[in-house]
Amino acid sequence: MDTASLKDLRATHNLLNLLYSQFQGWYVHQRILVQLNHPSATPDILAHGGKLLDVVAGWRTEFHRTGHPLICADGRTGETGIESEIGNMLRILHEKLLELGGATQSLLGKEVPLQERRDDAAYLISAVGWQAYAEQHERKTDIEFAKHFSDRELLNMREAEGATSNERISAVGQVITYLRNGESDATLFDLIISLAASLPNGEIARAALSVQRYLPFFVSEDGSRQQRNQEK
């Protein structure tokens, strides 16, 4: 496999990995809200998330089977017949990330102590769960791709990093248990705030920007291309 081909394969993998890992995170986010009886959570939303994941997983499976790029390193999109579906999926994810970032920022800015806002605490820890599990799946799928397409550089980098998300996932699990048990100690809610504090301007913002950068390359269902927001 020559270098140019590997670059195009990486470009497609990066796109699919972004979609897959972030939708995995969104699914976990919704599952946590259900577990903690958040008023916004419904089984229908969770089922919808599972369907979105199945679609992206199918794209990944087909890509690994055929090795046919969906997007090349120079930005050209492959003629696969699913460009509009990818565009719609990117748009959906972008909207969800913007919603997550805005809601997280708003909840962190409230003056009422978090222990008096248990639904807000549930949402914040679910946001942490989203990004922690997205990070875990991003690394996992990087390794799967690297092994399948013999991308030694990516494999070495990911294996050298180690699973940095495990500690945060463990913390999320502990917080969920405490909240479900009705724990009200202030240190628990301080932990939630410390875990979530950097998300709006950190991981969530970076993920939203990554999705935004792909939008101009894919056509939506109505036939129009997504327009890139101008950076100020």
Local confidence band at 230 (pLDDT 50, 70, 90 cut-offs): very low
Task: Report helix, strand or coil for 77.
Answer: strand
Percent of the chain predicted with pLDDT > 90:
73
Q: How many other C-beta atoms can be found within 10 angstroms of the C-beta atom of residue 32?
A: 25
pLDDT band at residue 232 under the 50/70/90 scheme:
very low
- Is 222 exposed, middle or buried, given 0-12, 13-18 or 19+ CB atoms closer than 10 A? exposed
The two structure tokens encoding residue 82: 């699913």
Q: 4 pLDDT exceeds 50?
A: no
* Helices 3-35 and 43-66, packing angle to 10 deg: 160
DSSP β-bridge partners for residue 219 = 225
Tokens 């390794």: give the residue: 143
Predicted local confidence at residue 231, as pLDDT: 34
For all residues of the chain together, what is the average pLDDT? 89
Q: Which amino acid belongs to residue 178?
A: Y
pLDDT category of residue 2 using cuts at 50, 70 and 90: very low
Give the span between the Cα atoms of 131 and 29, in whole angstroms.
9
Confidence of residue 3 (pLDDT cuts 50, 70, 90): very low
Does residue 188 have a pLDDT over 80?
A: yes
Q: Among 2-11, 26-35, 192-201, 203-212, whose mean pLDDT is lowest?
A: 2-11
Over residues 142-156, mean pLDDT: 93
Residues facing residue 225 across a β-bridge: 219
Q: Which two tokens stand for residue 137?
A: 């799946």
Q: Provide, rounded to the nearest whole percent, the portion of the chain with pLDDT above 70.
A: 90
Beta bridge partners of 167: none
Domain ranges of the chain: 3-217
